[in-house]
Chain A
């Protein structure tokens, strides 16, 4: 049973009690506690359950690497799952719930999985996939769905704010332990701009807990002095609670600052993402302790030796009255001494090494602590959920119990692994140490920057320097090397340090070394994902040799801790099973972020209205005030239709179309792309860009054209107006303007750079209004100012002039089949013109129409729409647009590709009109069914629907589609599939449904 000690706790303030709740139970802690410490202080040893078997779990670590003590924090929109209790600072009113249990943490139904564990071996998911389909659907899927997912998402949306901060520094130092501080002290003496980050709420890392002396003072004192010096240095910036998350190309780094998690309600953003560009990066990220693999090592009450020491020294919390320490190295003896110093009992130190004679074991023996060398833990005994004893055996043997030792906590240490994540993110390579049995950075194979020079260095334990004086010297030297690279001269120094001598460790990957299969199936490697020694050995036995494959097969290292505890032990076991040295097995890839960062901080301020810019035409406000039902078109908003009160969308669209065809409609066409192409070679350039001839177009005339890419596929279409000898105005689709402008620039800058052509995207310079319908000319004449008669302005002509005393350019073009004028006016006068037109058009019941009416009217006329009839695989020939493909031109973009055999094939599906026999509307995207099935057993097809609408003009469904040999099959009836599995019949017809001779537009 864990409890609070009456004294001690260097990080807590006993004068400031704090109330919090865990699973609805009220508890007390102190300011400075983390949640795990506070839970232990309240006797709450079990903090969560594992993911797969729902086994009860206690806290195993004391920092960011914690795999077990994951909780859901907060409530409502502020609820956040999967938060590590070890990195959660306690505050008044904190509420937390445990995860992966039902109905309660103490009694969990899912724990039955544990007794079924032999049916859920490594590769369970993969093996399951090959079972019969029925078993999958009724047996496995429900099980996996129920057990999948870790924690619950918050609901509703997140009320907090997040921000991104940008900074350029000369030297970024990640990690504020003594190594990071020493590196910063070295750099502080120069004028290099330095940023020092520490992920926790306090500086100095583990040194104060380990009790080192530096420069003749206690580590704690040395840290205080270092901070004073750094805070006074004008070139150094310090950030606590700020985790160096990832190192990226060319000196880029991300850091995750938790600004107000520890004081909810405080002003400012909750989290901040630092986007850092650094000249040089030093990672002083320390090391993580490894668990030992013995049977029962996942039981609540078993934790890392360093963690147990942290809870005593930092928080004044006793994880248990009688502690057994089990180790393969000297460092764990510090835990034994800390336990003893706090007045608790060390039942025994079980050391797997044959002998332990260094100063630390000696100090323990001198303190009267029993030390058993050459021994191992054979098993862990529980009574209910409380740890009661361990069985001791010989490490060399198979696990025969020599003795049972009563205890209520076990401190384990399998040695330390440098945190090489940030070194590795951008290509830093690793070496295997045969002294310390860990991977450490290979200083000869470093990440390189844009100059090909080293830009990441490690400092301290992250370099593999394990003893305090080595840590400080190494940190200073790394800083000097980085500073020299930046052009600053600096001097390294090695502060003296004591209390750090350690004897050699021994590699112990399985305890005892001859453990049976049964024992190995109780030795946990990955605590969160329930991966055991037996699972990794099974993977090896089943032929998995790559560590990356084994990881995915067993889920080793795939939990939220990303293998921080499990990876080295796991790959050592794999190496053992494959009978190959560990370096040959290698590590899995280290990827950012180092620890999980919030989704909120990734989005930063870019949510809701600021997610992306919203483009509004000059008439946007009018549309809004007149019932616009908005549709997003790229970043624009366009009215889909204008609904009157009580009117359905369908009714509105029908009304808009009927009014336009019968009398007069108007459309805001301002979003249409408008690109000016000008210069002596403009005609030549457009001849290359368009499939048809543009250079022969006369000033004052318009021509419809198609643009293809070099693959021959149709990209965009629109009307080109020649303004004068040298200038053309190119109209593109609304969504395509920016892309087509970039396309033009690409060819002009990179291929035909000697051509005298200039382009400018004028899309937003002009508002454009389409006035459409039999009364369109009458309206323009009523506005007055220019001759728009049939004689003065024939179809496909344009003219500059004045209408209603506004400067305009009028194009007589039509996308609806009606008499139609598109009027361009400077954007700032767009609304004025629109309002004048609306006012003047009242006598003809002028009706604004939206994008849906536009779509239906163009479909009634058989006009194609980019994105409906095209999808990036359609060529103009498929759409019967051969008339718009010049035979005379030697070259244009796409011409060569369209001559390729597949493009010229007669088997390509071609555009036709489709009319359902029953008059209904064909489902969008439906396929025309053909006889038989393909080799996958899927129904053969012979065409598909590309556009489908209800035509109010014709009172029936109309559609366009691409059909095999379509134009040769007029009148044939095809079957089209529906979502419900049935089919609907439609006849192949001419795609022009309305006014086939164009009499309405040519008046």
Chain B
């Protein structure tokens, strides 16, 4: 059972307090977008064996969505951060690249 620190309320929460929300930083494509872009937005996910930026909601806590950088195989968490951003903060990228220098968001 995973645990994450909610960046809003500061609580280290067990998975039972949280709800997973899939891949983070998806770009929304709306009316007028190409079939290819829209397909990518609706259906295509990275699903890496490696570092994954993902959405979590502190549903049994403060109710806020937050984002996490987590390795899907080793389960290492490189940090959690606000959902109100289009890319991970520099500090988290640094944490990831300390272990995986080649990593690209």
Contacts and interface: CB of A to CB of B under 8 A. Distances in A.
B6 to A, nearest CB: 13
A448 B76 contact: yes
Nearest to B82: A753
A899 B75 contact: no
Nearest to B3: A250
B31 A891 contact: yes
A746 B28 CA distance: 13
Interface in B57-102: 57, 59, 63-65, 71, 73-77, 83-84, 99
A710 B42 contact: yes
A450 B28 CA distance: 30
Contacts of A895: 30-31
B21 interface: yes
A711 interface: yes
A249 B2 CA distance: 5
Contact of B65 (A450, A452, A746): A746
B33 interface: yes
A406 to B, nearest CB: 57
A896 B31 contact: yes
Interface in A701-753: 710-711, 742, 745-746, 749-751, 753
A742 B59 contact: yes
A449 interface: yes
B103 interface: no
A897 interface: yes
Contacts of B35: 900
A609 interface: no
Given A249-B1, A250-B3, A891-B30, A749 B65 contact: yes
Interface residues of B, number: 32
Interface string B18-43: 00010000001111110100100110
Given A249-B75, A277-B14, A749-B83, A896 B33 contact: yes
B31 A451 contact: no
Contact of A448 (B38, B57, B74, B84): B74
A711 B42 contact: yes
B74 to A, nearest CB: 4
Nearest to B99: A452
B75 A450 contact: yes
A998 B39 CA distance: 43
Interface string A244-267: 000011111000000000000000
Contacts of A452: 71, 74, 76, 99
Given A448-B75, A710-B42, A897-B42, A277 B31 contact: no
B84 A749 contact: yes
B52 interface: no
B54 to A, nearest CB: 12
Contacts of A742: 57, 59
Contacts of A896: 29-33, 38
A754 to B, nearest CB: 8
Interface in A208-251: 248-251
A918 interface: no
A250 B42 contact: no
Contacts of A843: none
Contacts of B77: 450-451
A818 B32 CA distance: 42
Contacts of A980: none
A395 B52 CA distance: 55
Nearest to A712: B42
B62 to A, nearest CB: 11
Interface residues of A, number: 28
Contact of A450 (B2, B30, B33): B2
Nearest to A738: B59
A478 B62 CA distance: 39
B1 A248 contact: yes
B30 A753 contact: no
A434 interface: no
Given A448-B75, A450-B2, A896-B29, A750 B55 contact: yes
Nearest to A251: B3
Contacts of B28: 710, 751
Contacts of A248: 1
A753 B86 CA distance: 11
Contact of A252 (B1, B21, B30, B63): B1
A890 interface: yes
Nearest to B85: A753
Interface string A425-442: 001000000000000000
B80 to A, nearest CB: 10
Nearest to B84: A753
A740 B14 CA distance: 24
Contacts of A710: 28, 41-42
A900 B64 CA distance: 33
A277 B3 contact: yes
A742 B55 CA distance: 14
B31 A750 contact: no
Interface in A753-787: 753
Contacts of B64: 749
A899 B31 contact: yes
Nearest to A451: B76
Interface in A603-642: none
Contacts of B99: 452
Contacts of B73: 427
Nearest to A899: B31
Nearest to A895: B31
A903 to B, nearest CB: 12
Contact of A750 (B14, B38, B65): B65
A745 B76 contact: no
A250 B31 contact: no
Contacts of A746: 21, 57, 65
B5 to A, nearest CB: 9
A292 to B, nearest CB: 39
A895 B31 CA distance: 6
B65 A745 contact: yes
Nearest to A426: B75
A539 B4 CA distance: 45
A896 B38 CA distance: 8
B2 to A, nearest CB: 5
A742 B64 CA distance: 10
Contacts of A890: 31
Interface centre among A751, A896, A897 (most CB of B within 10 A): A896
Nearest to B77: A450
B70 to A, nearest CB: 8
B24 to A, nearest CB: 8
Contacts of B30: 891, 895-896
Contacts of B83: 749-750, 753
Contacts of B63: 745
A250 to B, nearest CB: 5
A519 to B, nearest CB: 45
Contacts of A750: 21, 55, 65, 83-84
A746 B26 CA distance: 13
A212 B35 CA distance: 74
B86 to A, nearest CB: 11
A922 B53 CA distance: 50
A448 B74 CA distance: 6
Nearest to A745: B63
Given A746-B57, A897-B38, 11 more contacts: A248-B1, A449-B76, A450-B76, A742-B59, A746-B21, A753-B83, A753-B84, A891-B31, A895-B30, A896-B29, A896-B30
26 contacts: A249-B2, A249-B75, A250-B3, A251-B3, A277-B14, A448-B74, A448-B75, A449-B76, A450-B75, A452-B76, A452-B99, A710-B41, A746-B21, A746-B65, A749-B64, A750-B21, A750-B55, A750-B65, A751-B28, A890-B31, A896-B30, A896-B32, A896-B38, A897-B38, A897-B42, A900-B35
List 7 tightest A-B contacts by C-beta distance, closest first.
A452-B76, A252-B1, A753-B84, A448-B74, A749-B65, A450-B77, A891-B30
Interface of A: 248-252, 277, 427, 448-452, 710-711, 742, 745-746, 749-751, 753, 890-891, 895-897, 899-900
